Chain A
């Protein structure tokens, strides 16, 4: 079928555009670029508006008629949110939970993906069905029993109480993406290694994983974003204010200690801070992300 490698490069594609006259093409070009700009604005506008708002001081935000540009430029909102203990903790907690979940999920998922890609074993279809089912799972169906389970295991307010569900629910993405990547590696490399005397696992470790490194990397980014954005479990399982993750902290930003008003300035500033890592990840690794997402989906 298809090779993700082909999709990862941005080579020119066969254009379907009719080869019209130069002038027609020019107009079309203008229209096209107008559309492209419009589309980019559509995607980025709410985010940009949030960014602009975050730089406004308390009087400027509530000015009517609305002042679009943040003049005077004010960093007070950022200063205020970073003075909040629970916000700083929220960022730290998000990093801990998301990166741990990503790492664990990668380990578990990659070996499972290899098994699916290369090996025949009993219950394989059951496993695939299970993985599919997990991707469809509504989290609300298990928060109650899972909460009780975690408390019984003594994991109250423990990071593991968030890490484990995140691992579970990111496994499908991990397995699908990595299975696609592993499948597309030429089998000859492994076979020749095994002819040379490596066991399956040695071949996996020495050949498959390094070659699939881009795929692993892509999967890592996808998993991280998914875990970072998780809300339902984070909200339910943690009661210590300094254990909340960033998503919960921002949902609960109403009435921050500092200003007893609906603190739009701080909410927007917090939104930007929480989103910035993701946006940066996305901007830097967009090619990988796109190929990873589409490899999983198109093959699925």
Chain B
């Protein structure tokens, strides 16, 4: 009897957790005064009690396993779709908040496992095993969506541009900076020279990174020039940005150039 009551309480708490997903974050807090996290903790405690109660388990708990696995798969699918489209895609199309699904899916997984996992040990070991299983569920449900989204984005990138060239790939990684590096390489003497670049401080952290610029313009060597400190010698070439060097003729609407001294 106690086990049946616990099962019903656990199921109600599991259903309650879904309310926030189809409404808005904090709906339960606003109307019932209870936060989602408290309901989650409560459902885990109830699941633990069921787990510790004497056997046999009821058919209901056995039947919960398949829906739980299906639920996990749906959750992963939804998160993946959201990851490869845009934030809010699922909310606008299915009217549910995918990021909030984590709590009910976690609670459901723990509940389904707790009512089916039978460990042939003493009560203390069974209880610790049970908490190890909770940690496992938490780990898998936290990490799996992250990796699935990452791998889906990778697949999407490959499918969208299967014949992308080296330049295309570098441009997608570095944006305009890469185009400027290609421009510099093409316009600097092939045998190499010395190129003056801005000091590596705000706002030139990227363009002022000597090692990075050198990767692209080698055999040209690179040196940081700080006009604030009145440099005595200037190199034969200077990087030309809209805000560097000071008083350069480049209009702010132009992106870049190269100054030959």
Q: Do A and B bind each other?
A: no
Q: Which residues of B contact A (CB under 8 A)?
A: none
Q: Which residues of A contact B (CB under 8 A)?
A: none
